[in-house]
Structure 1
Amino acid sequence: MLTPEQLIAAQKTQLNALFGLTSKAFEGVEKLVELNLQVARTALSEAAETAQTVLSIKDAQELMALQASLLQPSAEKAVAYSRHVYDITTATTSEFTKLAEAQVADAQDKFGSVVENATKNAPAGTENAVALVKSAVAAANNAYESMQKAVKQASEIVENNVNTVTTTALKTSQTARAPKRAAA
């Protein structure tokens, strides 16, 4: 049986975990807001600069050249922005995962202690039931660990794919710009 002190301690632990997760969520949102403000500030500055340049254009050929010169950096900026958002999201998710894993490990330890105490105090003749409970707990722990490994592997695959796509997009962007620079 759990004592009131044990229940209160468990509730305090859960509350601390909740506030820890909330804090990490706010940190992630803060970083996203900061990134978006930086992007908006930069976009506003570049829009003003582009407007000034447009006002000084004398013919259609200059306008076409300006338009072409604006497209390529935009693609690179979009890739860089997406990468920053992905990095912030990944870091926040990683923090959530660490806290969740710590909570699960703590719960497993406590549950293991409860099962151990129950098996020590089990009446004679219940050895088969005790063995069944221990086996079920071990199977549940193994299933959880397997799931954790699968999620980590999937996360690594996604990370590698994002890195590959980002690298490819940047190389394509730079390759597309290279002939224009050589021609200019």
Structure 2
Amino acid sequence: MFPMQDQISVATKANFEANLALVASLTSKTLESMEKLINLNIAAARASMEESQAATRQILAAKDPQEFFSLVASQTKPNFEKAVAYGNHVTNIAGSVQAEFSKAAESQFAQFSRKITELVEDAAQKAPVGSDGMVAAIKAAMGNASSAYDQFTKSAKQAAEVVEASVNGTVAQFAQSAGATTNS
């Protein structure tokens, strides 16, 4: 077997092992996040059930229609605030998962790029005379791919920030209008 083939075989095996470790890590993070969401949902359901029972008792104990409607209206703002808090918890969990996935992908890409660069450099040193143009073309292609990936990553982060800011702004406006409505 040729030395270059041995290097490619070793690099392929290392890449496979790194991918397997990445999948295991991301699966673990996904399961942790699912566990957080399940626990959040159980806690929210339990609290909602208890609060609903207490509110129903109060409403059923109303002595006249005015008191009844006053009690119903008084539940609006706290329920809305709880819904917003729940949404914030879900957003935080999703954000942490997205950050972990991005960090893992960036690390994996950097490691892969480094290994490919090492392989190309080694091949360039052992390449026959006159193959400088081919080596330069491969290096340029790798540089372009790396630049494209960096630009894609930056654009994706900016898009995520815009969406998050938009959602937060909408929730804040909705909270303000709900607060103004319940205070009226």
What's the TM-score once normalised by structure 1's chain length? 0.88
Partner of 1:123, secondary structure, is coil
- C-alpha deviations, 1:41-68, integer Å up to 9, x for none? 1111011102211331222222222222
Q: 2:45 aligns with which of 40, 44, 49?
A: 40
* Structure 1 Cα separation of the partners of residues 52 and 30 of structure 2: 33
* Structure 2 Cα separation of the partners of residues 60 and 48 of structure 1: 20
Q: CA deviation at 1:155?
A: 1.6
Match of 1:176 in 2: 181
* Structure 1 Cα separation of the partners of residues 44 and 86 of structure 2: 8
Match of 1:21 in 2: 26
Q: Does 1:120 align with 2:125?
A: yes
Q: CA deviation at 1:7?
A: 4.3
Unaligned runs of 5+ residues in structure 1 are 180-184
Q: How many residues align?
A: 179
Q: Between the two proteins, what is the percent identity of the paired residues? A: 35
Q: What amino acid does structure 1 have at the position aligned with 2:98?
A: T
Q: 2:88 aligns with which of 77, 83, 87?
A: 83
Contact 1:83 1:166 in 2 (8 A): no
Unaligned runs of 5+ residues in structure 2 are none
Contact 1:17 1:99 in 2 (8 A): yes
Q: 1:10 aligns with which of 15, 36, 39?
A: 15
Pairing 1:111-150 to 2, within 5 Å after superposition = 111-150=116-155
* Structure 1 Cα separation of the partners of residues 90 and 6 of structure 2: 45
What's the TM-score once normalised by structure 2's chain length? 0.88
Partner of 1:125, secondary structure, is coil
